[in-house]
A and B are shown apart, each in its own frame.
Chain A
Amino acid sequence: KAGVTQTPRYLIKTRGQQVTLSCSPISGHRSVSWYQQTPGQGLQFLFEYFSETQRNKGNFPGRFSGRQFSNSRSEMNVSTLELGDSALYLCASSLGGAEIEAFFGQGTRLTVV
């Protein structure tokens, strides 16, 4: 069974540009969550999607958005990139219940220059 796949693995963008990251969950998983990891703030929750609906959102500006498709694949988009958006972006998939185990992807390392 394939794991959670995130693409691309590495990305370099310029300030002001926008970026789209992709996450393909484990087959059968309907919940996808996104997290940002920076050296200063650690891991922080961005948002969670279940069956194409955003169920929960973290404390991030509106430049951060996401969506989920009918096949459960999810994308997150960051517009008007800032230097501080440089981070490892991780997604996790799960079946979607309150106590269901989450499985993480390898992450996308975004560098904004």
Chain B
Amino acid sequence: KNEVEQSPQNLTAQEGEFITINCSYSVGISALHWLQQHPGGGIVSLFMLSSGKKKHGRLIATINIQEKHSSLHITASHPRDSAVYICAVKVQGAQKLVFGQGTRLTINP
């Protein structure tokens, strides 16, 4: 079983829909990252969380440390949000990130 599991693996939605991507992890962490990867490969860090909730524009990320679960929400989704979203955790006591398998999001106009 992977240490970081994301769901769903693929998600297709219509423009304007509310999107939720989930991440569950099984290890102790010091932080959790949500990353966005567009075709071509470059990765952009969207959020880094160690507790609670963060909001940036139409993106919201939450984390529940007790339940070892995080969600990424996109409100009023747009075709330009189409990308792969990756959850990554910084393992407690180790200087490395462990990644989920990614969620491929497609927003149709």
From B42, B92, B101, give the contact of A104 (CB < 8 A). B42
Who on chain B is nearest to A58 by CB? Answer: B96
Query: With contacts A42-B102, A43-B86, A101-B48 known, is A109 near B94, CB below 8 A?
Result: no
Do B96 and A33 touch (CB < 8 A)?
yes
How many chain B residues sit at the interface, stated as a range, is 20 to 34
Do B45 and A56 touch (CB < 8 A)?
no
How many chain A residues sit at the interface, stated as a range, is 20 to 34
Do A105 and B42 touch (CB < 8 A)?
yes
Interface string of B46-58 (1 = CB under 8 A from A): 0010100000000
Enumerate chain B interface residues (CB-CB to A < 8 A).
30-31, 33, 35, 40-45, 48, 50, 86, 88, 90, 92, 94-102
Enumerate chain A interface residues (CB-CB to B < 8 A).
31, 33, 35, 37, 42-45, 48, 50, 55-56, 58, 88, 90, 92, 98-99, 101-107, 109
